[in-house]
Amino acid sequence: MMVSLSSKWSLGTMSFLPSSLLILLVVSTTSWCQTKASDGTQFPWNNMRLPEHIIPVHYDLMIHANLTTLTFNGTTAVDVIASQATNAIILHSHHLQISKATLKKGAGETQSEEPLRVLEHPSHEQIALLALKPLVVGLLYTVVIDYAGNLSESFYGFYKSTYKTKEGEVRILASTQFEPTAARMAFPCFDEPAFKASFSIKIRREPRHVAISNMPLMKSVAVAEGLIEDHFDVTVKMSTYLVAFIVSDFKSISKMTKSGVKVSVYAVPDKIDQADYALDAAVTLLEFYEDYFSIPYPLPKQDLAAIPDFQSGAMENWGLTTYRESSLLFDAEKSSASSKLGITMIVSHELAHQWFGNLVTMEWWNDLWLNEGFAKFMEFVSVSVTHPELKVEDYFLGKCFEAMEVDALNSSHPVSTPVENPAQIREMFDEVSYDKGACILNMLRDYLGADAFKSGIVHYLQKYSYKNTKNEDLWNSMASICPTDSTQGMEGFCSRGQHSSSSSHWKQEGLDVKAMMNTWTLQKGFPLITITVRGRNVHMRQEHYMKGSDSTPETGHLWHVPLTFITSKSDSAHRFLLKTKTDVLILPEEVEWIKFNVGMNGYYIVHYEDDGWDSLTSLLKGTHTAISSNDRASLINNAFQLVSIGKLPIEKALDLTLYLKHEMEIMPVFQGLNELVPMYKLMEKRDMNEVETQFKAFLIRLLRGLIDAQTWTDEGSVSERMLRSQLLLFACVRKYQPCVQRAERHFREWKEANGSLRLPSDVTLAVFAVGAQTTEGWDFLYKKYLSSLSSTEKSHIELALCLSQNKEKLQWLLDQSFKGEEIKTQEFPGILTTIGRNPVGYPLAWQFLRENWNKLVQKFALGSSTLAYMVVGTTNQFSTRARLEEVKGFFSSLKENGSQLRCVQQTVETIEENIRWMDKNFDRIRLWLQSEHLELL
């Protein structure tokens, strides 16, 4: 699954990267000890996990959705085998009314059937079907269940979605979202990923609708007047969370891949003309993966469907991937460069899952990262080859910084971590599973060499096809690929050839991938490497980096860190595997500077003692292009991380950023903004106007050269265009007059042409943001929002509306998007958090979250990343003790309806850190801003 919420909303962040926020779906109630069924009878099972002695083999599903009454009924016939004698069959069912259950055994003349008694255990989302006598071990039985339900009003299960035609008619469709635990809301099933089975699906519908599912349509049968039953081909063996079906009036376009797979994109009729880009990308990417993994895609078709109401970014259902419209549809006239990048990455993520996740699936949700970390990592591997012009490899380090932000807190968790109930499972869809997972895989690939890494994952996929895996299965596959005398890959980690002196350190010890990677997946956090240079000797020390105090806590964690470094005398990367707390390496000659973690390929940060930082700052001031743009971005990031734990004074970190006056590349500029903007965002929520104003003025002076150099066009590479879009928005929001005046002129012309004038899509964010500052402009933008068919245009207008300084308008936006009539509820989380960042709006957003908490939990699900995104987005820029007490008080009052969530611990820790940070650094920033070296800017 994939998310593209978080960053699109914060100024100066990676607005183009689908964020780590993976958004998941399901309501759960947790009551642990109740083993009484709902009718008072003793329920025969008291565990959240299903027993393992009844194994499903095949499901026959018949589902009939009524899009007028918004209900559905169905029959599930599941073939099961018992591995031990039992008369209770325990499976999942949630919000379904079961009318009848029978047990069949044998076939033909000898077939017998008996009624089963049904017991329900709602808080575990389970039912027990009781037979009169125990099932015979090893015999095939069929359990047949008739049931009915309401189409869900949330974004998971079998749910209702609507759209308006150009003429204003509201049309209804029904679609599914089952991951992680919502298949049980559409049909009774063994809803755990290790219970893989095959599925034969039949869907009943009216003639005016089209039904699609995981497999191609085999035949359609008229079962009654005005009722058609579609029969779909039988699926391969797969997990329940990957089943999908949609009943709609979508249109589609199709193409074939080289190997004969039919790829189609489905969308509402008014937007099918925006499907071409995704279709071409999907064909290219599917061909790439078949080649890269050396395993043919096993189904005859792959559909990509754009759903008008969708909580996350996308979902990898096997053969029928589903997407938010903005994650799939591309309007050549109006879509932005970041939209093209985002769509390509999301499609590549879902298609990677057809192998990582669908073909080979984690055994349980504790190892979700085996699905998500891999899919996130493969986005970069695939797109860098299929769409080289997008230069995605430049953005990868942004994912690692996002993960570290969360992983530096005490509330973080290991990549692989135990979970049991649905809310805990949903909490796994976070930055650690996705982004940290991807970053440690990237580090391993850099360490082993691309070829050795690739043969390891191909071996893993081939060995475990149609099966389930645990963490160690992956490392064992990786470890089995480095024969002792190999010379694999240019990066040469399995090789025995000659290397620089520093690399011999790991060579003799051999390569224990499992021991190394366990240090990255089984303990939380990441290491801080401290470097001290004494002549030719380089002393290295590792410790656990954790925010919260100036003394690093001794957690006793040690990592096997594959260090890389370049120096003033050598720009090819040297390597050293640090396995102990301290070690020393000897350089061939003394150097002026040394930079560790080349290209930020490692998941660790580095501190340089003595004058190490000074020499790097001088290097940036003199010839910043002596090191790569990713190395420059990582220096900016690391410096401010070190300020947080008291290792580097804030003045030195700020001095380092002064070189940005000469920076032209997107990642260092964005990283500078990512470090500096939050400083004034903290001040905006307190009475600190004078310093806040000076700090904002300093930022504009720092970047003025680059801002002035921007053309108001759509020219240039994707990164140049994304930089332009964000910089102009930043300049206009900061009221930089040359930008504001030009934006006002564009807005006036666009408005006079009634919105029909084509604005360059790279400047619309800035133009709309300025236009929305007047009541008349805001109202005009909202009117255009209602009629727009372009996702990019709508998201740009939405952001602009949220930047208003008018409290009534902001409150109205919160109310409207929450209601979901004119602005879809899927947009609410983004609107809430953008208003939560608005200096006028943040108290409204925080108030709204508190007043509507229970409804938000119902709609977006306890534990979902959407809910976490809203909690963090409305509170994590507070920096006063009064606000801290308010946040703690509210969440602890929620009891089991939210007080235990990890995002609550994260935001409380972040506010405590903000308080500490401001107490320590605010006065120093004030004095630094008055110092004379800023005159030069």
Alpha-carbon radius of gyration of the chain: 28
**Whether the Cβ atoms of residue 198 and residue 234 lie closer than 8 Å to each other:** yes
Q: What long-range pairs does 775-778 form, CB within 8 A, spacing at least 24?
A: 775/806, 775/809, 777/747, 777/751, 778/804, 778/806, 778/809
**Whether the Cβ atoms of residue 6 and residue 664 lie closer than 8 Å to each other:** no
What residues does 264 pair with on adjacent strands?
254, 303
CB atoms within 10 A of CB 640: 21
Q: Is 822 tagged catalytic?
A: no
d(CA 283, CA 263) in angstroms, rounded, equals 7
d(CA 521, CA 414) in angstroms, rounded, equals 6
CB atoms within 10 A of CB 897: 15
Helix (H) or strand (E) holding 681: helix 666-684
Residue type (1 letter), 584: V
d(CA 347, CA 329) in angstroms, rounded, equals 11
d(CA 833, CA 842) in angstroms, rounded, equals 8
SS3 410: coil
Q: How far is CA 835 from CA 132, 615, 800, 801, in A?
A: 60, 41, 11, 9
DSSP 756-822: -S---HHHHHHHHHHHTTSHHHHHHHHHHHHH---HHHHHHHHHHHHT-S-HHHHHHHHHHHHHTSS
d(CA 934, CA 513) in angstroms, rounded, equals 49
Query: Locate tokens 């021991």: which residue?
Result: 515
Angle between helical axes of 865-875 and 853-860 (0-180°, round to 10): 150
The residue from 120, 179, 350, 543 that is catalytic is 350
Query: Locate tokens 């993994």: which residue?
Result: 293
Judge residue 708's burial from the number of C-beta atoms within 10 Å of its C-beta, 0-12 exposed, 13-18 middle, 19 or more buried. exposed
**Whether the Cβ atoms of residue 589 and residue 536 lie closer than 8 Å to each other:** yes
CA 166-171-172 angle, to 5 degrees, is 150
Nearest CA-CA partner of 410 in 930, 910, 918: 910
Any residues with CB less than 8 A from the CB of 925 and at least 6 apart, and which?
650, 654, 679, 691, 695
Nearest CA-CA partner of 617 in 603, 630, 602, 627: 627
Residue type (1 letter), 259: S
SS3 172: strand
Which tokens belong to 831?
Answer: 């609107």
SS3 752: helix
Residue type (1 letter), 183: A
Query: Locate tokens 């009774």: which residue?
Result: 188
Helix (H) or strand (E) holding 63: strand 54-66
Which tokens belong to 881?
Answer: 């003790």
d(CA 13, CA 805) in angstroms, rounded, equals 21
- As separate numbers, helices (DSSP H) first and strands (DSSP E) second, the chain gives 28, 29
Give the catalytic positions in this structure.
350
